[in-house]
Amino acid sequence: MAIRLEHFNPDKYVNMYSVDSMNGFEFEDFLVKIFQTLGYDVKQTKRTQDQGADLFVTRFDKNIVIQAKNYSGSVGNSAVQQAISAKAFYSCDEAMDCYKFIFH
More confident residue, 71 or 29: 29
Given pLDDT bands bounded at 50, 70 and 90, which one contains residue 61? Answer: very high
Helix (H, G, I), strand (E, B) or coil at 11: helix
Own/partner pairs, 71-75, CB within 8 angstroms, 24+ separation: 71/99, 71/100, 71/101, 71/102, 72/101, 72/102, 72/103, 72/104, 75/99
Note the pLDDT tens digit of each residue in 1-32: 455 556 666 666 777 778 888 888 888 898 99
Judge whether residue 103 has pLDDT over 60: no
Mean pLDDT of 53-70: 90
pLDDT at residue 63 in the model: 95
